[in-house]
Amino acid sequence: MDKGKEKTEASEADSGQERDLGEEDFDQFIRKFSTYEAFQLERIKFPINVIVPDDEHEGMAPMEETIGRYEWELLDLTYDSTYLTRTYDQYYQGVRYRRDTAVVEIRGINNGIYADYYFTLIDEKWYLVTLYEASF
């Protein structure tokens, strides 16, 4: 059997099992989260505590900040492999999973981009609960 086909069939089987359990598929969630502003706003636990660089501090030391619903800017976590080869702001993106947690990790290629977005499964639905942005 072709490895690509085997992986696709395994993925379809896994996602079918998740649907039977009622748990939301993370990949489908992240596409919808990145596309629809109203959906994104529903799926963030506001006010959200975040860690971001302090622009006022000379070394841009990280500081904790709280962001409310009306201060939030739409976040796009869709990823295309061409982001690795583009001229500026190259980065790669991966997802680490635990039982009820997913962390979207964004790492720049020699450019200072560094961010982690933490999602938690609550009542079988994914929610953004915090983020760590250390890009400079």
For the chain, 136 residues long, give each residue's pLDDT as a single digit of tens: 444 433 333 333 344 334 446 899 999 999 999 999 999 999 999 999 999 877 776 666 778 999 999 999 999 999 888 888 888 889 999 999 999 999 999 999 989 899 999 999 999 999 999 999 987 6
Looking up tokens 């649907």 gives: 19
Give the DSSP per-residue string, 10-28: HHHHHHHHHHHHTPPPHHH
Q: Where exactly are the structural domains of the chain?
A: 3-133
Omega into 62 within 30° of 0, i.e. cis? no
- Cα–Cα nearest to 74, from 103, 116, 32: 32
CATH of 3-133 given 3.30.43, 3.90.1310, 3.10.450, 2.60.40: 3.10.450
SS3 120: strand
pTM of this prediction? 0.78
- Cα–Cα nearest to 49, from 70, 63, 34, 61: 63
